[in-house]
Amino acid sequence: MTVQDENIVELFFDVSKLNRSYSDHKFGNKIPFRGQYQCLLTLESHGKMTQKEIGERLGIRPSSVSENLTKLEQKGLIIRSVSDRDKRVSFVSLTLEGQREAEAIRKKKALVHVDMLSYLTETEKLQFANALLKIKEFYLEMGETEFE
């Protein structure tokens, strides 16, 4: 059986969408919106950051970062503090509640990922990982200048 490249890529994106729906179902109403969720996990893994650094790491517009951070701040999950060195710069960090929320989301995300791959044998998982690594290497070898 031969499969066209287009069909493989479409299948990959179909699975990605299904995983997102399944993940949303598993998280229930507890999960913040995706942008907020990504900001929380970025702050959890990298610690205190500027709004600009968060946007660069996530690859999202400054206005989107600002909107997500405002919502997280209103929920008491982050706090902003002005730099001692440069009053024009403010840092964003997680509150204790934000740390708890990020940890809970990370744990639930890990469970969803285990569920997602539970139908694969160890050999299939290794083959899948190797295929994804090859695709990732292709994009990394092209370099960012190829996309501009």
User: When comparing pLDDT for 28 and 135, which is higher?
Assistant: 135
pTM for the whole structure = 0.71
Number of domains in the chain: 1
Name, in order, each residue with C-beta under 8 angstroms of 49's C-beta and a sequence gap of 6 or more. 42, 43, 57, 91, 92, 93
Residue 141 has pLDDT above 60, yes or no: yes
Q: Please write the tens of the pLDDT for every residue from 9-39.
A: 888 888 888 877 777 777 665 555 678 989 9
77 occurs within a structural domain: yes
Q: Please write the tens of the pLDDT for every residue from 68-94.
A: 999 999 999 999 999 888 888 889 999
136 occurs within a structural domain: no
25 occurs within a structural domain: yes
122 occurs within a structural domain: no
135 occurs within a structural domain: no
Q: Range of 33's domain? A: 5-117
% of the chain at pLDDT higher than 90 = 49
Nearest to 20, CA basis, from 113, 128, 131: 113
| Sheet strand arrangement including 49-50 | 49-50, 90-94, 78-82
The CATH number of the domain holding residue 72 is 1.10.10.10
